[in-house]
Structure 1
Amino acid sequence: MSSERFGEVDRKLDVREIDGEPFDNIMTTLEELSSDESLLLINSFEPEPLYDVLEDRGYEYETTNPSPEEWHVEIRRERL
């Protein structure tokens, strides 16, 4: 979304380590964040279907691809 990096993240969730669909784990972790915390989601592919869900639920994100099989999505609540 934004070209500005979020900076330090408060929590990390590496879904490459989850056996099965990680969606529920992601949503649970996001719900546990306080309004000023951020999450670094690490995945083996770009989670494009997640972006609409994040936007619908009031989150903003920044995606980077540090290596061919690793995607980072920094997520936080939208700031008004």
Structure 2
Amino acid sequence: MVRTSTEGAAEHIDQLAQRYLGGPYPWFGGRDQVRIILTIEPDRVRSMGRRRSGVSAEPPQYPAGSAGPPCLGRLG
């Protein structure tokens, strides 16, 4: 963990609620709750289908008639 802060945390939860719930945060335990923001730093980042340098220049190409990456299987 890099940092913890209560500054702006109540406003942050309200912004997230507006985005994902479509309205203000319901404050189930009452408005006097103390909210904190935890800032973390990853030890490492892994991704699939990308070059080691980060972003591949071209999107991956899959055989004609396939459903895309093997993990998706056939959806239709």
TM category (shorter chain) comes to under 0.3
Q: TM-score, normalised by structure 1?
A: 0.24
Q: TM-score, normalised by structure 2?
A: 0.25
Highest Rg: 1 or 2?
2
The one of the two structures with greater contact order (alpha-carbon pairs below 8 A, sep at least 6) is 1
- The structure with the greater share of residues assigned to strand is 1
- The structure with the greater share of residues assigned to helix is 1
